Amino acid sequence: MDKKYYTIGMAGHIDHGKTELTKALTGIDTDRLKEEKERKISIELGYAPLVDNDEYSISIIDVPGHEKFIRQMIAGVAGIDITILVIAGDEGVMPQTIEHLEILTHLEISECIIVTTKMDKVEAEMKELLREDIKSNTKDTIFEDAPLFEVDSLSMSGIFELKEYLLSKINELPTKSANGVFRLPIDQVFQVHGVGTVVRGTVFEGTVSMNDQLTLYPSQKKVQVRNIQQFNQSVERSYAGNRTALALKGVQVKEIERGDVLTDVDNQRVTNRIDVKLNSSPHLKNDIKQRAPIKFHTGTSETYGRIIFFDRNVLNEPRETLYAQIELNEEIYCSRGDRFILRRATPVETIGGGEIVNPTAEKHRFGKQTSLQIEEESKATPEEVLLHELREQPGSDIKALEEKLSLPIDELKSLLEKLQTDGSIVEVKEKYFTVSWIGQRKQYLQQQLTEAHKIYMMRPGLPKSEVVQRLSLTKNASLAIIDYLLDENFLKSDGQYVALPNFKPEVPEEYAKRVETGLDQLKKDGLKVESIDRYFAQKDETIRTEIIKYLIRNQDLIELDNNLYLHKDNYLQAIQGLKNNTDESFETSDAKDYLGVSRKYLIPLLDRMDEEGYTRREESKRYWLK
């Protein structure tokens, strides 16, 4: 893939000229809603192409600046490459400017530019005051050393220079990986007549193609991509960094919400309990008490919940780093290392932001030790995190691991190879397990099968489907482990059964004599047998059934119909005798004359011969095949 894809985000206070700046750069008005036109503010996210040629596809996202639409602002900056902080020259730094500054700092947006707009209105002597105001308010933020551009979107003053800088800066950025897991946090969902359900977002990573099968989280609903569009043009595939719309098959609009995630990884865990590293806001005004209601923003999702502290009962210090847990009212999909923003539910205030440490956490005890444990986990090496993930989710494939660890695919592959070489993990049919987990499963299966062999001595083992359930993995992962243990001769297979290698089915001693007597009598009766109950009578119906199934598997009995069985010797003798006394074909009457039995026995016997490939029936005749 030679073409490169990037997204630029606009942030800033309401009515500071973000939409006009986007229009000046791209020629497109991103205010689409009637209410936006009437109120002259952005309510939803707006998008426009800055460049779309054979070399680059660069999108601009215009996020709302109004305090009421901060959720849309956070969703808009998810996955962007460069942030432009827009400040109106005639107003300077305003409340939403400061809040956007803080949010972008918590999200660790690495590439930043400051643009002052409406500069034709600003007197020369006021420009220096404006610059000082910006310098003061951006201290200790990601914008502290950001370049400053002064423009006017109406006269187009400074627009050419800004655009040239953006294009040169884009050229310096690393290309996002199109390999590995596809991940698209959804920020818009709508219905298009004649097309159906459409979602829109910025591709975080990976690639999506027409007809791909994807999973929607947290609902885990399976969907198919029926169409892909970029800037109203249909394309065959979309890559990391693309602003993309996907038409989906298999899901309705009402089943999707902003904040849902589309990915090509199946069977991933969703969560409502998350361990986090939290950096408190430098502007924190109110005490945040234990289990205080909060709004948790990550990716494009906003979810209500509670904050749980382990080393305190209240947070009241700005600029503090602490380790805590978020308990959400609803499940979401997220990964280790994802950035988040935490806000008060009421009164509205940014509490802070930070990094997800464990996206699928358990409940913890209150105490400083728990906080220290989360801190240690946050500092864990990729190797430690990978081994922990495989202990928690054995049988993960490389896509699932890439998604959970947030590692580049090449780095992950190298790490997996290293851990296999040093004997820490094994790969089985493209699924990974720790050696220690396999050892534990061996011990568990040894115990389970030993017990089963004692109870069900006449069975060839446990059904494979039952072993799959007992392993408590996905079906494919369980089958992979069973095959691995078969290859290692830890298990043996008999059709759909698995057993320990030294196990041999046998009739329990207490029934052995009666079974032997029954078989002898069945053999004496030749082809004119009675109901099987007469030969193997048991008070316990279950035991009788087990005996008959054992004798069938052991080929001592040949079943003709539900209650009619022959001794195997009599069956084989009848076939051999009939073949010796007929030509290449024979009629039913020929068989009746030779065998001397009524149709009650004859027809089931001949049908069984057809099933086993001794004969082939054509109209009234049967032809010998072997």
Higher-confidence residue of 532 and 226: namely 226
Q: Do 283 and 153 reside in the same domain of the chain?
A: no
DSSP 32: -
Task: Give the Cα separation of 326 and 276 in Å (integer).
Answer: 7
Q: Do 132 and 209 reside in the same domain of the chain?
A: no
Q: Which two tokens stand for residue 289?
A: 């008490």
Query: Residue 444: inside a domain, yes or no?
Result: yes
Please identify, among 446, 474, 506, the residue that sits at the C-terminal boundary of a domain: 506
Chain centroid to CA 314? 35
Query: Residue 15: inside a domain, yes or no?
Result: yes
Task: Give the Cα separation of 342 and 322 in Å (integer).
Answer: 13
Q: What is the predicted pLDDT for the residue at 42? A: 36
Q: Do 458 and 391 reside in the same domain of the chain?
A: yes
Q: What is the predicted pLDDT for the residue at 208? A: 94
Q: Where are the beta strands (DSSP E) in 466-517?
A: 492-494, 497-499
Q: Do 302 and 250 reside in the same domain of the chain?
A: no
Considering just the CA atoms, what is the radius of gyration of the chain in Å? 36
Task: Give the tens place of pLDDT for each residue, 389-414.
Answer: 899 889 999 888 887 777 777 788 99
Task: Give the tens place of pLDDT for each residue, 103-120.
Answer: 888 888 878 999 999 999
Task: Give the Cα separation of 246 and 260 in Å (integer).
Answer: 14
Task: Give the Cα separation of 74 and 61 in Å (integer).
Answer: 11
Q: What is the predicted pLDDT for the residue at 314? A: 96
Q: What separation in angstroms does the CA of 574 have from each of 377, 395, 594, 609?
A: 73, 52, 9, 10
Residue type, 10: M
Query: Residue 177: inside a domain, yes or no?
Result: no
Q: Do 20 and 165 reside in the same domain of the chain?
A: yes
Query: How large is the average pLDDT for residues 296-305?
Result: 92
Query: How large is the average pLDDT for residues 81-102?
Result: 89
Please report which helix (H) or strand (E) contains residue 132, including its range. Answer: helix 124-137
Query: How large is the average pLDDT for residues 84-100?
Result: 89
Q: What is the predicted pLDDT for the residue at 76? A: 52
Task: Give the Cα separation of 363 and 341 in Å (integer).
Answer: 21
CA atoms within 13 A on the CB side of 358: 25
Task: Give the tens place of pLDDT for each residue, 48-58.
Answer: 788 888 888 88
30: left (phi over 0), alpha (psi -120 to 50) or beta: alpha
Query: How large is the average pLDDT for residues 175-198?
Result: 85
pLDDT of 214 above 70: yes
Query: How large is the average pLDDT for residues 325-332?
Result: 97
**If pLDDT is split at 50, 70 and 90, which confidence band does 428 have?**
very high
- Provide CB contacts within 8 A for 483, sequence distance 6+: 428, 429
**If pLDDT is split at 50, 70 and 90, which confidence band does 30 have?**
low
pLDDT of 39 above 70: no
pLDDT > 90 in the chain, percent: 61
Query: How large is the average pLDDT for residues 304-327?
Result: 96
Q: Identify the CATH number of the domain in which residue 223 sits.
A: 2.40.30.10
Q: Do 440 and 466 reside in the same domain of the chain?
A: yes
pLDDT of 38 above 60: no
Provide the number of structural domains found in the chain.
5
Higher-confidence residue of 169 and 231: namely 169
* Average pLDDT of the chain, as a whole number: 88
Q: What is the predicted pLDDT for the residue at 64? A: 59
Please identify, among 234, 263, 292, the residue that sits at the C-terminal boundary of a domain: 263
Query: How large is the average pLDDT for residues 288-298?
Result: 95
Q: What is the predicted pLDDT for the residue at 484? A: 94
Q: Identify the CATH number of the domain in which residue 74 sits.
A: 3.40.50.300
Q: What is the predicted pLDDT for the residue at 107? A: 84
Q: Do 313 and 189 reside in the same domain of the chain?
A: no
pLDDT of 33 above 60: no
Q: Which two tokens stand for residue 455?
A: 């109870």
Q: What is the predicted pLDDT for the residue at 346? A: 82
Q: Would you list the DSSP string of 344-410?
A: ETTTTEEEEEEEEEETTPPP--SSHHHHHHHHHHHT--HHHHHHHHHHHSTTB-HHHHHHHHT--HH
Q: Do 413 and 529 reside in the same domain of the chain?
A: no
Task: Give the tens place of pLDDT for each residue, 485-504.
Answer: 999 999 999 889 999 999 99
Query: Residue 466: inside a domain, yes or no?
Result: yes
Q: Do 329 and 464 reside in the same domain of the chain?
A: no
Q: Domain range for residue 602?
A: 511-624
Query: Residue 342: inside a domain, yes or no?
Result: yes
Q: What is the predicted pLDDT for the residue at 9? A: 84
Q: Which two tokens stand for residue 264?
A: 């090509």
Query: Residue 439: inside a domain, yes or no?
Result: yes
Q: Do 58 and 167 reside in the same domain of the chain?
A: yes
Query: How large is the average pLDDT for residues 311-336?
Result: 95
Q: What is the predicted pLDDT for the residue at 213? A: 96
Q: Do 307 and 361 reside in the same domain of the chain?
A: yes
Q: What is the predicted pLDDT for the residue at 78? A: 57
Task: Give the tens place of pLDDT for each residue, 331-358.
Answer: 999 988 889 999 998 888 899 999 999 9
Please identify, among 328, 360, 378, the residue that sits at the C-terminal boundary of a domain: 378
* CA angle (97, 99, 102) in 5-degree steps: 110
Query: Residue 536: inside a domain, yes or no?
Result: yes
Query: How large is the average pLDDT for residues 321-329?
Result: 97
Q: Do 35 and 143 reside in the same domain of the chain?
A: yes
Q: Identify the CATH number of the domain in which residue 554 sits.
A: 1.10.10.10
Task: Give the tens place of pLDDT for each residue, 283-292.
Answer: 898 999 999 9
Query: Residue 178: inside a domain, yes or no?
Result: no
Q: Would you list the DSSP string of 270-310?
A: PEEEEEEEEEE-TT--S-EETT-EEEEEETTEEEEEEEE-S
Higher-confidence residue of 244 and 37: namely 244
**If pLDDT is split at 50, 70 and 90, which confidence band does 441 have?**
very high
Task: Give the Cα separation of 263 and 20 in Å (integer).
Answer: 34
pLDDT of 37 above 60: no
